[in-house]
Amino acid sequence: MELLTSTLTDRKPGLSGGSLVGLAAVIALLYFGRVFFITITVAIILAFILDPVVDFFMRLRAPRGLASFLTCSFALLIVYFGALVFYTQTAGLLADLPAYSQRINELVDSVVSRLENTEKSLSEIMTPKRQRDARAAQQPPPPPPPTKASKRRSAEPPLMLPPPVQEVRIQQEREPITATLYNYLRSFYDVLLMASFVPFLVYFMLSWRDHLRRSFLQLFAGPDRMVAGKSWEGIADMARAYVVGNFLLGILISVASTIVFWGANLPFPLLIGPVSSFLSLIPYVGLPLALAPPFFAMLPIYPKIGAYIVIGSAVSMFHLLALNLFYPKLVGARVHLNPLAVTISLMFWATLWGGAGLVLGIPITAGIKAVCDNVRSLEPYGKLLGD
């Protein structure tokens, strides 16, 4: 009895009250400071991706500061030219918006009329005949034909009634245009402000990498320092494998999709091809998102449903091939997350960070797993997340 009592007394709970309070505080901090943490996370991932390019320039005898500057400059040039192509295609699409809006209105009217006819047919089927006859009998009879007296009364001038008393309504003062625009753009201001810090954060993370790594490792002592170093490398390898693998996969699907859309004479294939391809890489909701751009581009030129079936089948085939054939080889070999962990992590990060959580949820969870795999006390959690 004493042995059992001592055993129950010495058993420690998995999560104490203080741990739960700390976990809740961390989740609240991630939610209310989501713009800041999303910016930092994106900058860290980009720094891990561009670090091998900095090492390449350093092998050419360039100092780290200059190598980091050249790497960031080349990355910004790639983003600029990509945005220029995207802007050119988008400008042409905006010029053709009247044709798209007319086609959308026609489709909406057609759908509404079909729904009304279907509802009427169902009502006639579901309503018994005696109820329909009763309703017809309750309708007022048609008005009688006009007589000479009614025509004479209609010819007489109408009586002049006093004007109705108009209610005096106190109109509320409208906000000035500047205040309205400020309220509309305020939601985008924080995002644009934080996004402007990303190039500088990436540059400083690359140019000060050795100092940051050395200072980070000095926070630990003895064997923990080696564990921290392995965790650093594990997160870096995972980030490069995940992002670069998804980027290469998106480029591959973009080329195939653009060729198919160009062969089908779809407008703006250089825009809808890459957009559809990279949208298909979003977990779980990628396929319906990937179908939206080509279907929208087809509205003014393909009225029949057969063309939509062909294009939808091609996009679905590319999505399934990428997900089942190329993704395990380019990305899955380094991530090692089981489907349940991926699903729960996407739900969790999407709840905290919205659309950005869907994009960053998997690399963040894989980074947490990389830390758990290198820390002995956290290895069970790494196995729980693993495949």
Local confidence pLDDT in tens for the 387 residues of the chain? 444 344 434 444 455 666 788 888 888 888 888 888 888 988 988 888 888 889 889 888 889 889 999 999 998 888 888 778 777 777 776 676 666 667 667 666 766 777 777 777 776 676 665 565 666 666 666 666 666 555 555 555 555 555 555 544 444 454 555 566 566 566 667 677 777 888 889 999 888 888 888 888 888 887 888 888 888 888 888 888 888 888 888 888 888 888 988 888 888 888 888 888 888 888 777 888 888 888 888 877 777 788 888 888 888 888 888 877 777 776 666 677 887 888 888 889 888 888 788 888 888 888 888 888 888 888 888 888 887
Compute the chain's Rg from CA coordinates: 32
| Three-class HEC string of 287-336 | HHHHHHHHHHHHCCCCCCHHHHHHHHHHHHHHHHHHHHHHHHHHHHHHHC
- 177 domain-assigned: no
262 and 209 in one domain?
no
202 and 350 in one domain?
no
Q: What domain range includes position 251?
A: 225-334
- 125 domain-assigned: no
This prediction has a pTM of 0.67
206 and 87 in one domain?
yes
Indicate the residue among 219, 248, 281 that finishes a domain: 219
75 and 55 in one domain?
yes
- 95 domain-assigned: yes
362 and 294 in one domain?
no
- 48 domain-assigned: yes
314 and 366 in one domain?
no
Number of domains in the chain: 3
Residue carrying structure tokens 């002049």: 160
Distance between CA atoms of 254 and 311, rounded to whole angstroms? 14
374 and 258 in one domain?
no
Hey, what amino acid is at 97?
A: L
Indicate the residue among 289, 310, 334 that finishes a domain: 334
326 and 244 in one domain?
yes
- 77 domain-assigned: yes
296 and 231 in one domain?
yes
355 and 341 in one domain?
yes
- 180 domain-assigned: no
* CA dihedral for 299, 275, 288, 280, sign (positive or negative): positive
330 and 340 in one domain?
no
What is the dihedral angle through the alpha carbons of 265, 280, 275, 195, rounded to the nearest 10 degrees?
A: 180
Indicate the residue among 334, 351, 366 that finishes a domain: 334
- 294 domain-assigned: yes
320 and 348 in one domain?
no
Write out pLDDT tens, residues 140-178: 666 666 665 555 555 555 555 555 555 444 444 545 555
CB 254, CB 277: distance < 8 Å: yes
CB 59, CB 45: distance < 8 Å: no
- 377 domain-assigned: yes
